[in-house]
Structure 1
């Protein structure tokens, strides 16, 4: 009996060539709608599905292949005598190959002017049904969803007259990955459309591979970079790489933290980051001054670091940056001369991200993998609670308040327990990831003295990502010459810290919101 292939594709890449080769091999082609027209216009002999089923396409093409003649031909197990007897009694011939890809739902929802009606109309019904039916019967039916697999199938057909069982099994797996991805895109779109912020009972997510990587955090670990599906701005996967080697696993992890912190600032700002923590942050009237501040804040840790910039990089700034070994530079744009200067270093990864200030969607999730599962939370997209509250006798000055808000944004991205010191919109000391808060405080002060100078913390402000459990951090702040502190509040012993601030004339502000970052 002659082999038969059913072809119905939205992505017509290579389909005419494939159909012609299959025809040469004696395969009978069945097709639908636009695919049938494309094939026959190109001289491929094909049978239209409606001719096979004896039932016309209807409902504007919504019903074409949803018919027992099609699905019995796909699902009948050739090794089952009862199945084959029923096919014969019903006058149905088996279908041996299915070549299908689905309505362009992803391309539809990525359009700026997409409507819900457009999106719903591009939900494929018959395609996934055929794919799943053929894949379930993979022993007897070769099912192809990806044009990149055409060559493999043709090669086996030419050499052996059939597709091997191993290849059919591989194609089966690929189908269920494809339909799962397709269904998840639909579910994600509907969730966003409904503005549904709840965490569902079952969590399905889909990502598309951007690139394989040489290795992960360490050379013995496999790694790849995947992107979320959907419209988004200001994310690393949307950046255009203008220079340098491919981004590594650690580059991407570190750069994401620098980028998200940079988004917190409206004024010209430069964020330098190392191992997921900010090491130098500066804001100023010009982006060149912001660079000078960020670099001066820690000219040691910035070596081999990541730099995120929220304004165009100028030539004078690029000359200064070129004197420092940087792994990654991210900015919305570059002056031509600035780009020429930076690209003279072949290894530095220079990224352009025009929408660098775009914040994450409110429905975005923060995921952390644990052995055996995931812990999932909404993103930390807020800065303070209901209002800032001055809890000390002394009110902070306008300058102190500006610096406290600058430091508060910064400490939000410092690993907990985290302390950040700032003065004149420049980081002067950062204490990240300590197991107690007094160590983080002392570390931030010590680093400020070592990197900037003995008077670096005089007149500076302090930000703490969580409350002070004891007044020892206030004692350390006073010894360092710090004049104002911003922290969430909420400790049982808050009053002890407040009293100590009053004793030393330090202003203290509560935000009503903590920012643990583990």
Structure 2
């Protein structure tokens, strides 16, 4: 290892020179393959922190799928149901626990995960490498790789796939810095530990939270800790199912994340599971087509005959009424917010996507209205007392 690594350029090709370096000591990372860039390393270091904390909080192998310094998905390594295997397109693969974690993380929002940066809390095994090898991805960070896994990953992208190994024992300095417009900012690192203790202040009439809900809320909060703010995360079954990042208003975060959660669930509808795709359709085209089929734009696709590019026969539309009826069966969803909800409209939107459990800081002058809206729907809400802004 060395104390610096020269990069091709910064965020954009005109931003040169570029490097990552340590003021003292050696870099805690080793590039095993490829040539990661500036944004790759931003994704790598943020995603590594996320999966490391998820593993510490849950005791389960964890994974994240990052794009532009925010997670498209994050998950722990619980076994997948047959339906989940099918919608994540891994029903033909053997899956280890860490492979299950990445399949979940990438499957949360496959449109956004296209060209992602992957992060694993545990050593990358052959099963996870095999899954990654057939997806469009920029790179991966993990604490280690088996020989077989590394050999598989080195065949990806004509041998140029970015593979980064990080020292799992690396502990950064307690104070961090960054430069903006030639001015150096300094702050203490956000070392706040997210655990079940943050979920004890239940302020709603509903005081019960299942253990699964607590786990999912912890996943949501840790995900938010490394998501560009403002941000909201929906989680269910050991994974994020919708992340709304970088919005200027809280309701737009809630809507964006809720729409993604709805798409995740609509992919499990019988009509979507049985779409008559052509055998030679590319994986990204299939994902895009599913997204269009679920959306209201599918009627336009029917009208202009574009469906013939992707399907062996014309599938009947998934009507608005069918979609609503299916979404009404979604339940037990957990939701985390990186700052307080200013109005009850966020709860109204969350309820439409099956949210039953919420964790948010509290502290709005309209907390009473937010609590009242939760009580209307039987939602259990905890005030954590902590904000999770990330910029």
TM-score tier by shorter-chain length is: 0.7 to 0.9
Structure 1 contact 421–457 (Cα < 8 Å) conserved: no
Q: CA deviation at 1:451?
A: 4.2
Per-residue Cα deviation, 1:87-122 (whole angstroms, up to 9, x for no partner)? xxxxxxxxxxxxxxxxxxxxxxxxxxxxxxxxxxxx
Where do residues 412-423 of structure 1 align in structure 2 (5 Å cutoff)?
412-423=225-236
Q: Secondary structure in 2 aligned to 1:431?
A: strand
Aligned 8 A contact 2:28 2:170 in 1: no
8 Å Cα contact 2:9-2:15 kept in structure 1: yes
Residue 18 of structure 2 corresponds to: 224
Which residue of the partner structure matches residue 93 of structure 2? none
CA distance in 2, matches of 1:360, 1:486: 28
1:377 to 175, 184, 187: 187
Aligned to 1:352: 165
What is the total number of aligned residue pairs between the two structures?
Answer: 303
Q: Distance in 2 between matches of 1:212 and 1:368?
A: 18
Q: Is 1:513–2:324 an aligned residue pair?
A: no
Cα 1:338–1:509, aligned 2, differ >3 Å: closer, same or farther?
same
Cα deviations across residues 297-320 of structure 1 (Å, max 9, x unaligned)? 122222211111011222122111
- Say which of 479, 489, 493 aligns to 2:366: 493
Q: Deviation at 1:431?
A: 0.3
String of CA shifts for 1:244-299, please: whole Å, max 9, x gaps.
Answer: 1x221111122121111112112200111000000111102421211221121122
Q: How does 1:33-44 map to 2 (within 5 A)?
A: none
Aligned partner of 1:482 in structure 2 is 355
Please say if 1:299 is aligned against 2:110.
yes
Give per-residue Cα distances to partners, 1:456-495, cap 9 Å, x unaligned. 9632111000001111111111122111110011111111
1:448–1:457 Cα contact (<8 Å) kept: no
Which range is displaced more, 502-511 or 283-292? Answer: 283-292
| CA distance in 2: counterparts of 1:209 and 1:398, whole angstroms | 44
Distance 2:3 2:18 in 1: 7
Larger relative contact order (C-alpha < 8 A, sep ≥ 6)? 2
Q: How far did residue 228 of structure 1 move?
A: 2.2
Superposed counterparts of 1:46-85, under 5 Å:
none
Match of 1:442 among 255, 258, 265: 255
Rounded Cα–Cα distance in structure 2 between residues aligned with 1:229 and 1:368: 13
Show CA shifts across 1:302-341 (max 9, x none). Answer: 2211111011222122111100121111111222211111
TM-score by length of 2: 0.73
8 Å CA contact 1:296, 1:452 repeated in 2: no
Could you say if the C-alpha distance between residues 463 and 299 of structure 1 is closer, same or farther in structure 2, counting changes exceeding 3 Å? Answer: same
- Answer whether contact 2:7 2:19 (CA < 8 A) is retained: yes
CA distance in 2, matches of 1:424, 1:296: 13
Radius of gyration: which is bigger?
A: 1
Equivalent-residue separation in structure 1 for 2:163 and 2:20 (angstroms)? 20
Partner Cα distance (2:256, 2:243) in 1: 7
Matches within 5 A, 1:61-460: 210-230=4-24, 237-244=27-34, 246-266=35-55, 267-285=60-78, 286-345=97-156, 346-355=159-168, 358-361=170-173, 363-365=174-176, 367-383=177-193, 387-388=198-199, 389-395=201-207, 396-453=209-266, 455=327, 458-460=331-333
For 2:277, the equivalent position in structure 1 comes to none
Deviation, 1:428, is: 0.3
TM-score, normalized by length of structure 1?
0.56
1:358 to partner: Cα distance: 4.4
Cα distance in structure 2, aligned partners of 1:457 and 1:409: 23
Structure 2 unaligned regions, length at least 5: 79-96, 267-325
Q: Secondary structure at the match of 1:265?
A: helix
SS across alignment from 1:483: strand
